[in-house]
Amino acid sequence: MTDAPITPRGTAPAVLISAPASGSGKSMMTAALARLHRNAGRDVRVFKYGPDYLDPMVLETASGNPVYQLHPWMTGMDECRWRLARAAATADLVLVEGSMGLFDGDPATADLAAAAGIPVVPVIDAAGMAQTLAAVALGLDQYRDDVCLAGVIANRVGSAGHGRMLAEALPERLPLLGAVPRDDAMSIPDRHLGLVQAGELPDLDRRLDAAAELLREAGLDALPASVTLAGEPPPKPPRLLDGARIAVARDAAFAFIYRANLELLEAMGADLREFSPLADQALPACDALWLPGGYPELHARQLADNLPMLLAIRSHHAAGKPILAECGGLMACMDTLVDGDGKAHRMLGLLPGQAAMAGKLMGLGLQSLALPGGELRGHTFHHSRLEAELEPVARTRRHRGGTPGEAIYRDGALTASYYHAYFPSAPAATAALFRGTALEEIGHA
């Protein structure tokens, strides 16, 4: 007998949905494929490549299953293989939605496809394009020997004749799997940080069902080829948060949370207690508080008007209890938040200064924070700027170039930054943040 974990191994139809560039329609294509096969009675597991909070919300609604991030650097390739293998062991279909263009970034979506051995299907925007689609597809197919294309999906096709023309231009070894016409069913509203949150779309299920039917009519209801996937399970994290009660802000203003982050906190022994800074009048009983990212700028007036909650969080901070504030959480910690219309709203006042919407992208990219408990990896993505009166105690480091990244601010037991952390990348460092023991260490990082 042995207590050693069994290495997950599974064989299931699997494919990675990518594109030549952002804006080609791969997000909705992946969601529609997930809903199409779910409606056919299949167990569909979907993953999202890279840092992203909004696409996974839609993909979870589409598939009916949890969605996790995969990224060779941020989550680590070992974790990617393990999650894929675990899904393939039970699922009827495994889908991975790529990020940006297939070969864009370092690492790129193609690196995951090559390392995991998953075939790629690019979604190519065929609007205004005929035989050139074949040239684009062949270029993607031949760019790297270790990346295998299983076919092509043409999106935004103008007519049945247009679809036939595209199919005839492609070689037999690279078939056109489907020609999806231009249709409102294949779009979801977006805003400055990406797709509108799934919970804000009351008709999302109807949209997904309509998109799934569109794909079925295009012949995309066939399962892809089966792939065998295997990976070593990660070691069990140390129970460094046993007995710790962590209040997690979660509502329309604070929703940017990796599912894996929550699961890690629980695996380390934490008791998670969700609450809404928008609707609730008091914090749940807690030892630490997490204010994740989201859209506080869209709900600034409601946040400012909920004075009982503002006072509760201020009291938590005054009592010396740890707070981790990420991006939108950082914005809420400032004295004021200036929304997109230029109106200033009173916020928590835990950090002197203001956050203001900038009307353009102010921060983007993979970053890490070096702590004695490990290198905490993650990313940044924001459209606001900070006018802080407090000097940062440290800065993250950009993955590309190794230059200093986002500022890390500290006041008492509060740690705040625009930086979003992927907790499983450094469990001990994460636990130290929520225990409050990492705060002095950050000052020397």
User: Per the omega criterion (within 30 degrees of 0), is the bond before 107 cis?
Assistant: yes
Residues 214 and 250 in one domain: no
CA–CA gap between residue 421 and residue 384 (Å, rounded): 18
Residues 303 and 429 in one domain: yes
* Active-site residue list: 327
Residue 402 has pLDDT above 80, yes or no: yes
Residues 292-302 pLDDT 10s? 999 999 999 99
Residues 242-287 pLDDT 10s? 999 999 999 999 999 999 999 999 999 999 999 999 999 999 999 9
Residues 279 and 410 in one domain: yes
Q: Using CB atoms within 10 A of its CB, is residue 401 exposed (0-12), middle (13-18) or buried (19+)?
A: exposed
Q: Is residue 239 part of a domain?
A: no
Residue 442 has pLDDT above 70, yes or no: no
Residues 215 and 283 in one domain: no
Q: What's the longest Cα–Cα distance across the chain?
A: 70
Q: Is residue 4 part of a domain?
A: no
Q: What is the pLDDT, as a whole number, of residue 436?
A: 79
Residues 157-167 pLDDT 10s? 999 999 999 99
CA–CA gap between residue 416 and residue 330 (Å, rounded): 5
Q: What is the pLDDT, as a whole number, of residue 197?
A: 67
Domain enclosing residue 376, as ranges: 245-442
**Predicted TM-score of the model (pTM):** 0.93
Which CATH number is 172's domain given? 3.40.50.300
